[in-house]
């Protein structure tokens, strides 16, 4: 019965410090794009790129600090599964947008 629970010293679990670092980074990575959208100081295209870049960085922060996904041997299968799921989602979204753009282009051409 004593072995049925994992100890809190596991390497797969983060420390309070790592959770706080992830939390603070998440707040910063949310506040900066929010501020740029609410108080436009740069062009709309530049704001869009900043928001997209910060979104990707925030996903990486969540993966590392909250989901504990790293490049260790123990996490290799999880990283491969995540990379495959990301590839499938990008293909589905990208090819769907391409198809819709092509349909729009051919429907509007006379």
Number of domains in the chain: 2
How many Cα neighbours within 13 Å face the side chain of 12? 6
Residues 62 and 92 both lie in one domain: no
Please report the DSSP string for 26-88 in residue order: HHHHHHHHHHHHHS--S-HHHHHHHHHHHHHHHHHHIIIIIS---SSGGGHHHHHHHHHHHHH
Residues 96 and 109 both lie in one domain: yes
Q: Which domain holds residue 97?
A: 73-110
pLDDT in tens, the chain (110 residues): 455 445 444 555 778 999 999 999 999 999 999 999 999 999 999 999 999 999 999 999 999 999 988 888 888 999 999 999 999 999 999 999 999 999 988 888 66
| The model's pTM | 0.71
Q: What is the CA radius of gyration of the chain?
A: 20
Residues 60 and 97 both lie in one domain: no
Residues 78 and 58 both lie in one domain: no
Residues 9 and 63 both lie in one domain: yes
């Amino acid at each position: 019965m004593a072995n049925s629970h994992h100890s809190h010293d596991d390497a797969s679990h983060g420390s309070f410090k790592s959770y706080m670092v992830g939390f603070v980074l998440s707040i910063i990575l949310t506040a900066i794009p929010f501020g740029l959208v609410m108080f436009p100081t740069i062009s709309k295209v530049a704001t869009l790129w900043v928001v997209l870049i910060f979104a990707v960085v925030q996903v990486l922060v969540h993966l590392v600090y909250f989901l504990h996904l790293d490049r260790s041997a123990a996490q290799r299968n999880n990283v491969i599964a995540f990379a495959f799921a990301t590839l499938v989602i990008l293909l589905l979204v990208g090819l769907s947008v391409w198809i819709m753009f092509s349909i729009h282009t051919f429907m509007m051409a006379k």
